[in-house]
Amino acid sequence: NAGVTQTPKFRVLKTGQSMTLLCAQDMNHEYMYWYRQDPGMGLRLIHYSVGEGTTAKGEVPDGYNVSRLKKQNFLLGLESAAPSQTSVYFCASSPGTESNEQFFGPGTRLTVL
């Protein structure tokens, strides 16, 4: 099993450009999450999904949109990138059981100029 994969690994955007980050998991997990990690800080939740076709806002949702059309995929979109969105983005999935252990992807390093 590949676990959680993220595409792309690196990306540089200019202010105002748009892009989509793809997260895929092969563990049949119900829950999926998008986080951002900034230097010296922990992870902050952007959006999450509790199942196919559902999405919800996390702690820092502004400037981002998400979609979960298929159970195994969770897409994060930036419609008009801003320098404040320069960060490392992590996707995670969880089976949704009582323990809620989360499994993380390797991250996408995004720079917005």
Residue numbers at the binding site for another protein (CB under 8 A): 4, 31, 33, 35, 40-45, 48-50, 56, 58, 90, 92, 94, 96, 99-107
- Find the shortest distance in angstroms from Cβ 16 to another protein: 28
Nearer to another protein, 1 or 14 (CB): 1
- Find the shortest distance in angstroms from Cβ 17 to another protein: 24
Buried b (16+ CB within 10 A) or exposed e, 18-55: ebebebbbeeebebbbbbbeeeeeebebbbbbeeeeeb
Q: Which of 104, 21, 105, 110 is nearest to 65 (CA)?
A: 21
Nearer to another protein, 14 or 99 (CB): 99
